[in-house]
Structure formats: structure tokens, C-alpha cells
Structure 1
Amino acid sequence: MKPDRNPAVDLVRAAALIGIAVVNLPFMALPSQALLTLPEAWPDRLAVQGTELLFQAKFFLLFSFVFGWGLEIQSLQARRAGASFARRYSRRLGMLALFGILHALLVFTGDILLLYAVLGLIAWALKGASVRGLLGMAMALVPVAAACLAVIVVVLADAPLPPDHPGLGGSYVETVLARWRDWPPVFVFLVLFQGHLALAAFLVGMAAARTGFFEEGNAAAARLARAVPFLLAAGLIVNLVYVGAGRSEALPVAMAGLASLALGGPLLAAAYLGLILRVARTVRMPAFVVVAGRNTLTCYVLQGVLAGLVLGGYGLGLFGDLGQMTILALSVAIALLSMALVAAWAQRFGQGPLEWLLRRVTLA
């Protein structure tokens, strides 16, 4: 295994940043009631269903995969340095959890950093398993994720509509108070919606690192490349079931539709991974994309900060005023802008500010 300087890894991270922004931004741009039903205008409906089909529960899996891969790389680097990986990693997860709490309250309620810190502890505990064991546990988590997704449908069917509060449309203080009130149920939702699949991706990433997945000529990467057409076809079919049935008023149909995402998400995420590896081998990407892929923590947080400045009542005040197609375009623009800004910073100072702080704490 080689240290994390492979541009393919950075490209996977960069692609994940854009996909995560596409999924997250509607939750910052619209009241919660507006997210529960499909919009009437066909461009907005197309944007919603296109996001559900191609983005939702796919790109966070790529991010999770690389997170697990990084766990193994960090362990190797600690051994090479003669340092205690346990101490380094515990400090890293503690700092990540602190970032997550602050991010959830000050920037975006749907934060994943705290969840990653918690799942990182579980992955750490399972680190002693073999490659076959890691992959077996990951596969076993897929039906568990499907069951949790079905439970979400049942819970939401009986839950009252969320209260209508200012959200990002209010002042910054009102926004923080709304996040404080909303965060506990949102965090529980995130655990049920993506926790099990994220942990599965962690474990697959750990197994991939042990087999040199990102190295030139790796057999597993070659098999993935050959399987891309099948993965794309199967993933699109399963995700069409999710899009078509997930909003059904018939409870059993809606349960089956959302549960299908536990299979459809990983299928398309694997296909995307194979496609990204092919692009990394054949296309020279702009330097800012690669640099941003090495500083994803700062990019991720900056996405929410920029979105708040555009949407919030303390900024341009566009909360609730944009259609879904406009939000889709805005999310891509914000993702690219955050990547360009962080890349410029990192090229000047060596790394993003949050990466610098996380590294300082990790290495003590």
C-alpha cells in the first residue's frame, strides 16, 4: 500500500463532494413540508426524481468507502512512524465529533461528521477482521439497512407534520435555535437512513486498502471496471423502483420502495466508483479538483456556509423562494465554488484550515 497521494482517491472524494451537495442543498433551501411532496412544475419534478434516482444514497457511500480506506492507510502510516495508531485515531475521531456538533448547530442540521465519528469507532473495533470477514459483515449490513429504511416509512406515516418554523429564512440566531430543536430527531433519522450502509462502505474501504485497490493493475479494480455496465443497469432498475414506489400512499409499497434503496444505492455507488477510476486513468482533471479532493473536510463545511449566505435570512434571503431545478444548479455551483476556494487556500498554505487543525490534533 502507498500513502494517500493517488489522484484517483482524490477524484472519488471530489465527486462525492458534488453529489453530497446536490442531495443536501434542498434540505437547506426549502421548508420541510415542501420536501414531502413532488412539485407540480415538470422541471422541478424532474430535478427531484433525478436526484433521487442518481444521487440520493449513492455519493455518501463513495465518501464512506474512502473514509474506511483512509483508516487502513492511517494505521499503516502510524506503524511506519513508530507511533500509536490507537492514540492518533482516538484523537482524530474526537476532533471529528466536535466538528460535527459545531457543524450541525452552526451550519447544517443534516451533518454527517458526528455520525462518521461514531461509526469510525465501530469500524475501529472491527479492524482485526480479515478481508473476507470485513466484506461478509458489509454484505450482512445491507438487509439490516433495508429493514431500517422500511421502519422509517412506518414511523413517518404516523408522525405529525413537522412544525413550520423560519429555518434558514430567519435571522442567524433563529436559525441556530431551529437547528438545536431539530438536530436530535434528524440525527436519529440519519442513523436509520444511512448509518448501516455507511458502516458497510467503511468496511469495504478497509478491505480495499488491504488489497491495494487503488494501485495500478489491481485485480479487484479490474473486476469492478468489467462489472460497470451490469452495475449501472441493475442499479438504475432498482433505483427506479425506489423513485416510483418510495412516495406511494400504500404503506407496504412505500416500505418496499424505500427499502430497495439499501440495494440500489450500493449498486450505483459501485458503478460510479468504477467510472471514476476510468476517468482518473484517461482524463487529466483540473488541479483544483485534485487539491479539493485532498481537503474534503473544509470543502464540505464551506458548502453549508456558502449555502447559508445565499439562502439564509442573514444572507440573500432566498430560502423557500427557489424551485428544485434552480436548487439543483445552485448546489453544483456551490460545490464547485467551495472546491475552488479551498484549493486556492491549500495551494497557498499547504492544506485546508480544518485539515490543518485535524492533523495537528491527530498527531498531537
Structure 2
Amino acid sequence: MAALMGICIVNVPFMALPVEASLVPPSAALDQVVAFLVEALFQAKFFLLFSFLFGWSLHQQAQSAQRKGVSFNRRQTRRLSGLAVLGALHAVLVFNGDILLLYALLGLVIWPLRQRDPATLMRIALTMVPLGAASLTTLGILLPDTLSSSTTLGAGYWEATRTRWLDWPGTFAFLLLFQGPLAFAAFASGLAAAKSGFFDTPLNRGRVSLNTGLPWLIFFGVTFNLYYAAAMSWVIPPEQGLHSLAGLVVLVLGAPLLSAAYLGLLLKLTERYTLPHWLIRAGCNSLSVYVLQGILAGAVFGGYGLGLFGTMGQGALFFVAIAVAVLSMAIVSVLAKRFKRGPLEALLRAWTYGGRP
């Protein structure tokens, strides 16, 4: 659920502000501070935790299919195709920064690697670092051309949907460059973790190594991400040479390091404290929570809802995002308690297994 909370904090400003707002520093001091902290501590970190769990789930589904003596290939083909359709609909109807279609495409690439041993999978994940650096360098050069200047999200629903449709190719290109290599690295790492029993016991070798290296992960992760945030939030003036481009490229190291630190800290917390049942239910139905976040944010900021698009600064949006995330979790938890699964999980499961929702 921490991953979904972090994703919501990052996504809400993209739904609440015109794109032009990301190209200039906020005028209010509070907004500047919050924008900086979101860049440093949230941007590109929590989607990696989400991606890590996606890779982990691949192994769990393969094991389930093996136990039941059914074809995993058939199941996975249907699951990824269903996820792609849901992603496309989500991008056009709700939020064109959708990540589900990208996950479906990357799922096709990680699929043939599921038989590799954990060490090989981790080496594959490491090869994504130079690829990610090249991808982010390309993005840094093309960034002005990949961002849309549309501000019609404050208009009616169908006009906003038309805008999302027209903007989607550019937005997806941005996501592919910004998130693609790092997400695939997280897929491979999550698959390796599942195969090595990472979550089975605190004495697992990987868990012990993560705990041992946690101080260094925090130190270097925070350091790299502070530089990234300084370059992206105009703390370092754009006129200062290539700092903006360097800050973007540094993210390829900073984001995975800080995400790994977050994972270690979250595991320590769960070893000490028991999560409330409603949060656990929401966490087991993350697809529905993720999509509902966008629906609720659209209802708040879209012209077809409260029409608050462009009326709040980054400081206020931070708390709105938390409220949206918590409300989404609560609603999905109630639905999951009543119907055993979230609505989208039931739909995707029915398509995957060829049954009825």
C-alpha cells in the first residue's frame, strides 16, 4: 500500500495542474518545498516497488498453475492481454499516465526469463542501468517535445477524454523512456526475490544482505535523489550547464537505491507491527485501488466533477493525494470484503481463467 500511496502523490499533480506548471518553478515557498520533496523522495521510487511486486507475482502465478496442472503460458497470455486492454481504457478514459499497458508489454519480455536462476535475473536487472541511463539521456534531450501543452482537463468529460486520446502517444513515449528500463529491472529483481524465497523469512540471504546494506542504500539513495530534485526543481538554475540532464541521468541509480531502502524499511515495520485488515485487503486488490485513484482525482479536478483543475498548488495537492489514496483503499477494501475481490481483480481473474467474474 505504500507503493500505491507514493504513486498517487506523484500522479495527482499531473491530473490537477496544466503541463506548463511543470516547466516553471512554483511561486509560493511551500509549493517549492513540496515539489522538491516529491521529486527527491517519491518521483520514480514507488512505482519501482509496484514493479518489484509485479515481478514477484509472476513466479507465484507460475507456481499456482503448476500445482493445478494447467498451462501457465495460456493463463499468462490472457492475463497480459487483459491487463493491456485495461491499461488502454484507463489511459484514455481516466489518466493517460497509465502504467498498466507498459507493464503488459514488459511482461511479455520478462516472461521467457522466468526459468532463469535468481543470480542471472539480478545480472539482467543490472544491465538495465546503462540502458536506463541512455534512455533518460534521450528523454532529457527530447523532453520539451514529449510533453503535451493541453490544459483541457478542466473541461467536460468527453473533451477531456478526447485530449487524453490525442496526448496518449506522446505520454506513452515519455513513460517508455522514463520508466521502461527501470521497471523491467524491478520485474527481474522481483522475480529473483520470489525464486529465492526473499519474503519467506527474515533470515533469507537476500533479506540479510538488504538489512546489512540499508544505511548505505539510504545515504547514496538520498544523496543522488537530492541532486536529481535540485536539478529538476530549479534549485540549480537551468543556466548552470548540463545539470538538468545530469540530474535526470543520476536518477537511474538514485531511484533503485532509494526504492531498495524503502523496501528494507517497510519490511522492518511489518516485522514489528501488524497492518489493519482493511489495508491488507486493499493491498491484495491493488489494481482496483490504482484505477480508482485516477477516477477520484478526475472527479475532483475535472470540469465534469468539482472543476478544481489548476486551482491548487503543490502543497495542497500533496494532502489531496493522500486523501484520494486513503479513500481509494477504503472503498476497495469494503468491496473486497463484500465480494471477496476488488472489481478489476475479479474481471481480470475471470478473463485469465476463462470463467465468470
TM-score band, normalised by the shorter chain?
Answer: over 0.9
In structure 2, distance between residues paired with 1:28 and 1:165 = 10
One-letter code aligned to 2:167: D
| Aligned position for 1:101 | 88
Q: 1:135 to 1:190 in 2, by over 3 A?
A: same
Partner in structure 1 of residue 276 of structure 2: 286
Q: Which residue of 1 aligns with 2:336?
A: 346
Deviations 1:98-128 (A, max 9, x none): 0000000000010000000000000002223
Instruction: Extract unaligned runs of 5+ from structure 2.
Output: none
Distance 1:132 1:299, change over 3 A: same
For 1:1-364, list aligned pairs within 5 A: 14-156=1-143, 159=145, 162-166=148-152, 168-216=153-201, 217-246=203-232, 247=234, 248-250=238-240, 252-364=242-354
CA shift for structure 1 position 250: 4.5
Which residue identity is paired with 2:158?
V
Letter in 2 for 1:272: Y
Contact 2:146-2:171 at 8 Å conserved across structures: no
- Percent identity, please: 50
Tell me, yes or no, if the aligned pair for 2:55 and 2:187 is still in contact at 8 Å: yes
Contact 2:18 2:149 in 1 (8 A): no
After TM superposition, the score normalised by the length of structure 1 is 0.94
* CA-atom RMSD in angstroms: 1.3
- Does the Cα contact within 8 Å between 1:154 and 1:251 map onto a contact in 2? no
Matched pairs, number: 349
Distance in 2 of aligned mates of 1:356 and 1:84 = 20
Q: Secondary structure at the match of 2:60?
A: helix
Q: Between 138-147 and 175-184, report the one with greater CA deviation.
A: 138-147
Q: Cα distance, 1:336 vs. partner?
A: 0.5
| Equivalent in the alignment of 1:10 | none
Post-superposition CA distance 1:130-154 (Å, at most 9, x none)? 2221111100101211121111111
Kindly state the Cα deviation for residue 86 of structure 1 after the two structures are TM-superposed: 0.1
Q: Is the 8 A contact 2:146 2:173 kept in 1?
A: no
Distance apart, 1:162 and its partner CA: 3.9
C-alpha distance in 1 between matches for 2:344 and 2:313: 32
CA distance in 2, matches of 1:156, 1:55: 20
Aligned mates of 2:48, 2:146 — CA distance in 1: 30
Q: Structure 1: state its 5+ residue gaps.
A: 1-13
Contact residue 148 and residue 170 of structure 2 kept, 8 A: no
Which secondary structure state, in structure 2, belongs to the residue aligned with residue 285 of structure 1? coil
Q: Distance in 2 between matches of 1:160 and 1:280?
A: 40
> In 2, are the aligned partners of 1:138 and 1:201 still within 8 Å (CA)?
yes
1-side partners of 2:208 and 2:120: how far apart?
22
Cα separation, partners in 2 of 1:304 and 1:341, compared to 1, 3 Å = same
1:70 positional shift: 0.3
TM-superposed deviation, 1:165: 3.5
TM-score (norm 2): 0.95
